[in-house]
Amino acid sequence: MKMLVLPGDGIGPEITAATLEVLGTVDLLLDLRLEFEKHDIGLAALRSSGSTFPQEILERVNQVDGVLLGPVSHYDYPPQAAGGINPSAELRTKFKLYANIRPCRSRPDLTVLRRPMDLVIVRENTEGFYSDRNMFLGPAEFMPDEDTAFSIRKITAAASSAVARTAFELAQERRSKVTAVHKANVLKVSDGLFLREVRRVAERFPDVKLEELIVDAAAAALIRRPDSFDVIVTTNMFGDLLSDEASELSGSLGLGGSVSVGNGICVAQAQHGSAPDIAGCNVANPTSLILSASMLLRWLGRRDGDRRLLDAAQRIDAAVDEVLDVAGSRTRDVGGELDTDQFCARLIAALQNEPGPPS
């Protein structure tokens, strides 16, 4: 089982190192036979090779079992012509990673919510308002004169159908409800197409309830009635905004996992950014990337029918819960006192002390 490890920028190398320690622990406990192939991307790769995402690394993606991607500082990259490629966007478009899956579950003493949150946001990942990834040739933003700017939004039936199918399949494993979030009252054509495809997919899942909600109301409902949601499916930018809101409401953006999936490819990536202001200080919270790695193991376990990988994911999740449930066992960003290394050590101790599954 080979994983491509791309630490990224800022705090990326630190939280990636912590994540690899956790994966190495479950590997030893369960004989997963994990292999890690690590390569520099981002600013480090730009200095050494002239590109933030060298072509030879990109070509390895569909030759391995999964990808672990650290956060990147793409705002600081030069133009693409000078080697500044956003690795996250490149992966999503090149390999058609149509679904970004982000679970959000509130933790009682960290959340600001009055009612509990336990939901999954499934965000379309390859088109929408994101102008860097929705054209075959050329940018989707342009200026006919210096005081006028246009941006093209792309919505396709294929991508909408694929992300809807992912959402309904997830809902079948959870509480059998999907909420389609849209703005079809204004974006009548593009969001109308998105809703058409969601409704068509819904017909194939009669056991799952479909709710439709305008994005403004959804943003408010995440605060007022978070417990009414199970799986949310939406377009790219709406999903980006709502998932950040949901994660912060549930406790912190640093506490939720995230994977981007396509046909046969899964990329695990932290929900948050590269935080260059604290890079190298050993204070970063690695929880998001660790939980993303757990999601990757679960995806691989389901793909291959491998109970060991599913067990490993469950053990990581349980260890994270055990450590975070103790206020003093948290990193400083969520009210604790531990640095990155100390938090990782607590997690590994929890993993090693956890009893195995019943025989």
Res 356: pLDDT: 45
**H-helix or E-strand spanning residue 344:** helix 340-353
27 carries an active-site annotation = no
C-beta atoms surrounding 338 within 10 Å: 19
Total of domains in the chain: 2
Res 133: pLDDT: 78
- Which tokens hold the place of 292? 């993303």
77 carries an active-site annotation = no
CA-to-CA separations, 257 to 287, 290, 308, in angstroms, rounded: 8, 7, 20
Res 327: pLDDT: 73
Res 358: pLDDT: 39
Q: Is residue 235 domain-shared with residue 351, that is, in the same domain?
A: no
Coil/strand/helix, residue 329: helix
Q: Is residue 125 domain-shared with residue 38, that is, in the same domain?
A: no
**Alpha carbon distance, N-terminus to C-terminus of the chain:** 25
Q: State the CATH number of the domain containing residue 83.
A: 3.40.718.10
Q: Is residue 238 domain-shared with residue 163, that is, in the same domain?
A: yes
Which one-letter DSSP state was computed for residue 342?
Answer: H
216 carries an active-site annotation = yes
Q: Is residue 83 domain-shared with residue 34, that is, in the same domain?
A: yes
C-alpha to C-alpha distance for 59 and 206, rounded to whole angstroms? 40
- Looking at 250, 267, 292, the residue that finishes a domain is 250
183 carries an active-site annotation = yes
Per annotation, catalytic residue among 244, 333, 339, 341: 244
C-alpha to C-alpha distance for 41 and 5, rounded to whole angstroms? 10
- Which tokens hold the place of 338? 């531990």
Q: Is residue 220 domain-shared with residue 313, that is, in the same domain?
A: no
Q: By C-alpha distance, which of 107, 34, 96 is closest to 65?
A: 34
240 carries an active-site annotation = yes
Per annotation, catalytic residue among 130, 191, 230, 317: 130
Q: Is residue 115 domain-shared with residue 246, that is, in the same domain?
A: yes
Tokens 């058609």 map to which residue? 96
What is the crossing angle of helices 307-324 and 340-353, to 10°? 120
In this structure, what is the dihedral angle of CA atoms 163, 165, 170, 173, given to the nearest 10 degrees? 180
At position 167, the amino acid (one-letter code) is: A
- Looking at 208, 224, 250, the residue that finishes a domain is 250
**Segment 123-162, tens digit of pLDDT:** 999 999 988 778 888 888 999 999 999 999 999 999 999 9
Evaluate whether 334 touches 252 at the Cβ level (below 8 Å): yes
C-alpha to C-alpha distance for 218 and 144, rounded to whole angstroms? 35
Res 253: pLDDT: 86
- Looking at 231, 250, 269, the residue that finishes a domain is 250
Res 357: pLDDT: 42
| Domain with 216 in it | 111-250
Res 354: pLDDT: 61
Q: Is residue 83 domain-shared with residue 121, that is, in the same domain?
A: no
**Segment 24-51, tens digit of pLDDT:** 999 999 999 999 999 999 999 999 999 9
Q: Is residue 324 domain-shared with residue 279, that is, in the same domain?
A: yes
Name residues whose C-beta falls within 8 Å of residue 3's C-beta, 6 or more positions apart in sequence.
23, 34, 35, 36, 37, 64, 65, 66, 67, 68, 296
**H-helix or E-strand spanning residue 321:** helix 307-324
Per annotation, catalytic residue among 109, 216, 321, 325: 216
- Strand ranges, E, within the chain: 2-6, 35-38, 66-69, 99-105, 118-124, 141-145, 148-151, 177-182, 209-214, 231-234, 259-261, 266-269
Per annotation, catalytic residue among 38, 96, 154, 183: 183
- Which tokens hold the place of 254? 């640093």
Q: Is residue 65 domain-shared with residue 151, that is, in the same domain?
A: no
Res 328: pLDDT: 81
Q: By C-alpha distance, which of 133, 165, 176 is closest to 152?
A: 133
Q: What is the full per-residue pLDDT of the chain (359 aa) written as tens digits?
A: 899 999 999 999 999 999 999 999 999 999 999 999 999 999 999 999 999 999 999 999 999 999 999 999 999 999 989 999 999 999 999 999 999 999 999 988 889 899 999 999 999 999 999 887 788 888 889 999 999 999 999 999 999 999 999 999 999 999 999 999 999 999 999 999 999 999 999 999 999 999 999 999 999 999 999 999 999 999 999 999 999 999 999 988 899 999 999 999 999 999 999 999 999 999 999 999 999 999 999 999 999 999 999 999 999 999 999 999 887 889 999 989 999 999 999 999 999 986 544 33
Evaluate if pTM is beyond 0.85: yes
Q: Is residue 87 domain-shared with residue 121, that is, in the same domain?
A: no
Q: Is residue 277 domain-shared with residue 243, that is, in the same domain?
A: no
Res 310: pLDDT: 97
C-alpha to C-alpha distance for 16 and 14, rounded to whole angstroms? 5
Evaluate whether 100 touches 123 at the Cβ level (below 8 Å): yes
Q: Is residue 185 domain-shared with residue 199, that is, in the same domain?
A: yes
Res 137: pLDDT: 83
Res 132: pLDDT: 79
